Amino acid sequence: MSVLVYVENAEGKFKKSIFEAVSYAKTIATQLNTSLTAISIGDVASAELENLGKYGASKVLNVNNEKLKSFINQAYASVIAEAAKKENANVVVLSNSFSGKGLAPRIGVKLDAAVISGAIELPNTDGGSFTIKRTAFSSKAFATVEVTAENKVISLTPNSYKVVEDGGSANVEVFTSENKDSDFKTIIKEIVRATDKVSLPDAELVVSAGRGLKGPENWGMIEELANLLGAATACSKPVSDADWRPHSEHVGQTGIAISPNLYIAIGISGAIQHLAGVSSSKVIVVINKDPEAPFFKVADYGIVGDAFEVVPKLIEAVKSLKANS
């Protein structure tokens, strides 16, 4: 028995959400009295791989060949499932990233495993049972799932588990897989990545704005505030529906659900569908000129005021905070 964690890289580097997944998987391994192995697919420097030991991986399987250089769902799932079998792993952990969402179910089927997606806490293994908490109803609720299957595939919601750094260096081993040709039917033609922006699903801080901004031309101050804070930008559904902002920024029930440490909502009234996507944020700040806006009911901090007056002052305040620290 062992625990396997898949460490997804973004252009050869690991993001914080991956260190969270490794730390989380390590704690599960300790709960189950076993060790943690990580598997990396793609071109990652060995120093980066050894560094995973710091978060608790004792061994790293390195799969680096030309055919598996870019993410192909089917092929990656085969490799990870094969590694899980060889390592005798009955728990596989992934980050619930866009790629993780595509992988976890396929790995689950290959291993006859139960798939728990969007886990937000460690499993409870008291008395031989295995229960785990995840979000449900688009973050309006939590569900505790009891797993009866022997094998488990768990995808961890980013920003829901703390990075723990108390390990050493991991042993890196080359791992070769036997993919079948049918694993490679999809072809990636192009990857477009905005490198100058913080990606929304991973963001610890998010500045979001709604219809109160009146038009796309007024987003300059939102972007400036976000840049100063190192935050990602987001928006409400009416804003993306009106094409003021891209759909990828839409948070809420039919957009994406996020759980940053800080969510600043500017000119968003707080419809129940919007709240669903952001209610697991740790701190919520609402700026709205309508004191009756429902968003204030679920906020930690608020300012009743006009965004066009308040936001420029916030920008100045962040600048002076940065200058003094």
Partner 1 sequence: MKILVCISNVPDTTTKITFTNDNSDFNEAGVQFVLNPYDEIALSRAIELTENGNGTVTVINVGEASTEPTIRKALAIGATDAVRINAKPTDAYFVAKQIANYAKDQSFDLILAGRESIDYNGAQVTAMLGELLDIPSVSIIKKLDVDGDKATVEREIEGGKEIITIPFPFVAGTAEGVAEWKIPNMRGIMSARTKPLAVLEAIEVKSLSKIVKFETPAPRGTVKLVDAAEPEKLIELLHSEAKVI
Q: Interface with partner 1 includes 323 (CB under 8 A)?
A: no
What whole-number distance in Å separates Cα of residue 322 and Cα of residue 223? 17
Sign for the CA dihedral angle at 254, 260, 266, 270 comes to positive
Q: Which of 85, 86, 137, 162 binds partner 1 (CB under 8 A)?
A: 137
Identify the residue among 60, 61, 68, 104 touching partner 1 (CB under 8 A). 104
Which stretch, 50-58, 86-94, 168-176, 268-276, contacts partner 1 (CB under 8 A)? Answer: 268-276
Pick the binder of partner 1 from 30, 46, 88, 136 (CB under 8 A). 136
Total Cβ atoms within 10 A of residue 165: 11
Distances (CA, A) of 194 to 11, 198, 205, 248: 13, 9, 18, 12
CA atoms of 204 and 260, how far apart (whole Å)? 4
Nearest to partner 1 of 60, 286 (CB atom): 286
The number of residues making up the chain comes to 325
Q: Which of 222, 225, 170, 214 is nearest to 44 (CA)?
A: 170
Count interface residues toward partner 1 (CB under 8 A): 101
Q: Establish if 245 lies at the interface with partner 1 (CB under 8 A).
A: no
Contact flag: residue 73 with partner 1 (CB under 8 A): yes
Q: Is 110 in the site for partner 1 (CB under 8 A)?
A: yes
242 binds partner 1 (CB under 8 A): no
Interface with partner 1, residue 20, by CB under 8 A: no
Q: Is residue 91 a contact point for partner 1 (CB under 8 A)?
A: no
Q: How many CA atoms lie within 13 A of 301 on its CB side?
A: 8
Which CB, 40 or 253, lies closer to partner 1?
A: 253
Q: Which of residues 162-201 bind partner 1 (CB under 8 A)?
A: 182, 185-195, 197-201
Q: How far is CA 52 from CA 6, 85, 199, 258, in A?
A: 11, 21, 22, 26
The nearer residue to partner 1, 47 or 126, going by C-beta atoms, is: 126
Of the candidate residues 74, 169, 218, 227, the single one contacting partner 1 (CB under 8 A):
74
* Residue 68 is a binding residue for partner 1 (CB under 8 A): no
Among 30, 125, 144, 176, binds partner 1 (CB under 8 A): 144
- For residue 172, the minimal CB distance to partner 1 (Å) is 25
Give min distance, CB of 154 to partner 1, in A.
Answer: 11
Place of tokens 């972007």: 223
Phi, psi torsion values for 23, nearest 5 degrees? -60, -40
Cα separation of 44 and 114, whole Å? 30
What values do phi and psi take at 297, rounded to 5?
-70, -25
Position 141 contacts partner 1 (CB under 8 A): yes
